[in-house]
């Protein structure tokens, strides 16, 4: 299961155009930023799932709020959020709440790094984050339900998704920079292990502690 491929497949050309108009950017920049957001959120989720408590909380959130049904009318959900200025109608679409659980107070740091990679400003990326975060949770919830995944399998899928994102052309360095900042690796660790290797070393270390 390649979560990055699944996530990228959710964004139609029309939807990317709508998001681009919303933030005032070119579609190519928006698509690149979306890839960075998806990859970063997968890495953050894998980080959260590295502890037993974090994994249990994630599983409970998926069962309660994110069964994947939102994907049946994703265009309608995104269109509604754009009309409401990114506001959520329910917990399944509460992008700000989801971001708070995944990235905490490091959202702006992540936005700056993703912006540098895509050519967008941090403020433009910040507008995309709460719209795309519910898509990540819905895809993960649908994968859990349709695949009958237990918590251990869910953690494995997340780690695999983050590693798949790292392997994509041009994504390794971005993930190294973003996750180094978001997860606390910092510049020193980036210099020691190389930005492209940081995701594997950070997540490998986290999962090794379970």
**Residue in the block written with tokens 């959900």:** 77
- Distance in angstroms (rounded) separating the CA atoms of residues 59 and 190: 31
pTM of this structure? 0.82
Question: Are 5 and 96 within 8 A, CB to CB?
Answer: no
pLDDT of residue 90: 77
Report DSSP state, residue 91. Answer: G
DSSP string covering 150-172, please? -HHHHHHHHHHHHHHHHHSTTHH
- Distance in angstroms (rounded) separating the CA atoms of residues 129 and 22: 13
pLDDT higher than 60, residue 81: yes
- Distance in angstroms (rounded) separating the CA atoms of residues 62 and 127: 24
Question: Are 22 and 62 within 8 A, CB to CB?
Answer: no
pLDDT of residue 134: 94
For a pLDDT cut of 70, what percent of the chain falls above it? 76
pLDDT higher than 50, residue 79: yes
Q: For residue range 9-22, what is the model confidence (pLDDT) as tens digits?
A: 999 999 999 999 99
- Distance in angstroms (rounded) separating the CA atoms of residues 185 and 160: 20
Q: Which residue has the higher pLDDT, 180 or 117?
A: 117
- Distance in angstroms (rounded) separating the CA atoms of residues 18 and 22: 6
Q: For residue range 131-185, what is the model confidence (pLDDT) as tens digits?
A: 999 999 999 999 888 877 888 888 888 888 777 777 765 565 666 666 666 655 4
- Distance in angstroms (rounded) separating the CA atoms of residues 3 and 125: 21
pLDDT higher than 60, residue 36: yes
Q: Which residue has the higher pLDDT, 98 or 172?
A: 98
């Amino acid at each position: 299961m390649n979560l990055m491929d699944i996530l990228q497949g959710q964004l139609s050309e029309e939807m990317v155009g709508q998001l681009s108009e919303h933030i005032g950017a070119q579609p190519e920049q928006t698509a690149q930023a979306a890839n960075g957001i998806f990859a970063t959120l997968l890495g953050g989720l894998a980080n959260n799932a590295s502890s037993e408590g974090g994994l249990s909380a994630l599983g409970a959130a998926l069962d309660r709020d994110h069964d994947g049904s939102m994907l049946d009318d994703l265009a309608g959900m995104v269109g509604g959020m754009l009309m409401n200025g990114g506001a959520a109608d329910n917990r399944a679409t509460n992008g700000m709440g989801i971001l708070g659980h995944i990235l905490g107070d490091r959202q702006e740091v992540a936005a700056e790094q993703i912006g540098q990679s895509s050519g967008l400003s941090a403020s433009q990326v910040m507008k995309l984050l709460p719209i795309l975060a519910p898509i990540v949770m819905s895809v993960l919830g649908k994968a859990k339900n349709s695949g009958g995944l237990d918590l251990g399998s869910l953690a494995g899928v997340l780690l695999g998704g983050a590693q798949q994102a790292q392997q994509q052309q041009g994504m390794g360095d971005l993930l190294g920079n973003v996750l180094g900042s978001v997860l606390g690796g910092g510049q020193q660790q980036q210099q020691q292990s190389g930005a492209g290797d940081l995701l594997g070393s950070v997540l490998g270390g986290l999962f090794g502690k379970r």
